[in-house]
């Protein structure tokens, strides 16, 4: 099923999502990688996490004024050249605790660990898989860079606040009910491998 949603995401909207659904997002999303996640836990988020969407990404940004690394969290004159998903396992040490603070959806690639899965269930949140290698496609859905936070971490590690329209396709890979497409694939592969061994 293809579903279009607007951010911030509501409890009902997220609860209705199931593994395998294809989602397109409009509204605001935030990029964040491991250093930003770590700082969120240390200092608190620089924006309201309730109902928010975090995109595991380190975008390629063209900035006209790099002197704006003053960490005052002001909008910058910047253009996003490309943005693709970062491997989400990098965020495993932090993700569950960040989800507990109100995040409703994570976008990334490769899936996440059991702690994150449990956090998704207890917080009625989801993990959505973005397609690797589609950085140019995804950037076309970004209408505006609304703000940047913690630019002192560096351009890829800063939090970029993005206004998006029909951002996707995104596949719900881990839903709020415990379904996990990555685990399903692992079980099928393992079962197939056992069958091959037994048939030899």
Compute the half-sphere exposure of residue 70: CA atoms within 13 Å on the CB side of its CA. Answer: 7
Q: Which of 19, 29, 37, 85 is catalytic?
A: 37
H or E segment to which residue 78 belongs: strand 78-82
Q: Which residue's entry shows tokens 């605001």? A: 28
| Residue closest to 116 by CA, chosen among 92, 135, 81 | 92
- What are the CA-CA distances from residue 167 to residues 17, 24, 67, 152 (Å)? 16, 5, 30, 27
**Chain position carrying tokens 């690797």:** 132
Q: Is 21 helix (H, G, I), strand (E, B) or coil?
A: coil
Residue 56 appears among annotated catalytic residues: no
* Residue (of 70, 52, 45) closest to 162 by Cα position: 52
Contact assessment for residue 127 and residue 111, using Cβ atoms and an 8 Å cutoff: yes
List active site positions.
37
């Amino acid at each position: 099923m293809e579903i279009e949603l607007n951010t911030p995401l509501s409890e009902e909207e997220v609860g209705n999502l199931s593994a395998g659904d294809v989602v397109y997002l409009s509204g605001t999303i935030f990029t964040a990688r491991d250093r930003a996640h770590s700082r969120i836990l240390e200092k608190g988020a620089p924006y309201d996490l309730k109902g928010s969407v975090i995109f595991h990404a380190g975008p390629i940004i063209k900035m006209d004024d790099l002197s704006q690394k003053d960490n005052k969290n002001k909008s910058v004159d910047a253009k996003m050249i490309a943005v693709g998903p970062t491997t989400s396992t990098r965020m495993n040490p932090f993700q569950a605790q960040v989800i507990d603070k109100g995040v409703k959806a994570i976008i990334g690639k490769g899936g996440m660990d059991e702690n994150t899965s449990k956090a998704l269930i207890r917080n009625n949140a989801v993990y959505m898989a973005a397609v690797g290698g589609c950085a140019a496609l995804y950037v076309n859905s970004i209408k505006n860079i609304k703000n940047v936070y913690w630019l002192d971490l560096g351009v890829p590690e800063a939090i970029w606040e993005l206004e998006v329209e029909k951002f996707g396709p995104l596949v719900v890979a881990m839903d709020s009910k415990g379904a996990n497409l990555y685990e399903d694939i692992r079980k099928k592969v393992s079962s197939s491998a056992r069958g091959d061994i037994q048939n030899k």
